[in-house]
Structure 1
Amino acid sequence: MNLEESLFKEALKIQNFDFKDNVIKVTDKTIDFFESLNLSQDLIIFFKTFSFKKEIEFGSIYFNCVNRIRTENIEEENKEIYKKDLLIIGSGANGDPIVLNTKTMSVGYTFHDILWEEENIEDLNKIYIDLKMSIGTFFYKSITEEDFPIDAYDAEDYIK
Structure 2
Amino acid sequence: MNLDQSLFKKALKIQGFDFENDVVKVTDKIIEFLESLNVSKDLITFFKAFSFREEIDFGSIYFNCVNRIRIENLEEENKEIYKKDLLIIGSGANGDPIVVNTKTLNVGYIFHDILWEEENIENLNKVYIDLKMSIGDFFYKSVTEKDFPIDAYQAEDYIK
Report the TM range for the smaller structure's normalisation.
Answer: over 0.9
Kindly indicate whether residue 20 of structure 2 is the aligned counterpart of residue 29 of structure 1.
no
How far apart in 1 are the matches of 2:28 and 2:105?
23
Partner SS for 2:24 = coil
Give, in angstroms, the shift of residue 15 of structure 1.
Answer: 1.2
Aligned Cα root-mean-square deviation (Å): 0.5
Kindly indicate whether residue 41 of structure 2 is the aligned counterpart of residue 41 of structure 1.
yes
Partner SS for 1:156 = helix
How far apart in 1 are the matches of 2:69 and 2:123?
23
Give, in angstroms, the shift of residue 20 of structure 1.
Answer: 2.5
Kindly indicate whether residue 103 of structure 2 is the aligned counterpart of residue 103 of structure 1.
yes
How far apart in 1 are the matches of 2:94 and 2:16?
25
What TM-score do the two structures reach when normalised by structure 2?
Answer: 0.99
Matches within 5 A, 1:11-22: 11-22=11-22
How far apart in 1 are the matches of 2:132 and 2:20?
30
How far apart in 2 are the matches of 1:151 and 1:126?
15
Give, in angstroms, the shift of residue 148 of structure 1.
Answer: 0.1
Ranges in structure 1 where 5+ consecutive residues have no aligned partner: none
What amino acid sits opposite 2:152 in the alignment? A
Give, in angstroms, the shift of residue 66 of structure 1.
Answer: 0.1
Partner SS for 1:104 = coil
Partner SS for 2:42 = helix
How far apart in 2 are the matches of 1:6 and 1:20?
13
Match of 2:92 in 1: 92
Match of 1:75 in 2: 75
How far apart in 2 are the matches of 1:24 and 1:72?
18
Q: Percent identity?
A: 81
How far apart in 2 are the matches of 1:21 and 1:45?
18
Give, in angstroms, the shift of residue 22 of structure 1.
Answer: 1.3
Deviations 1:103-125, CA, capped at 9 Å, x for gaps: 11000000000000100001001
Partner SS for 2:109 = strand
What TM-score do the two structures reach when normalised by structure 1?
Answer: 0.99
Match of 1:123 in 2: 123
Match of 1:138 in 2: 138
**Quick check: 18-27 or 140-149, which moved more?**
18-27
Aligned length: 160
Partner SS for 1:21 = coil
Partner SS for 2:88 = strand
Give, in angstroms, the shift of residue 21 of structure 1.
Answer: 2.5
How far apart in 1 are the matches of 2:154 and 2:85?
22
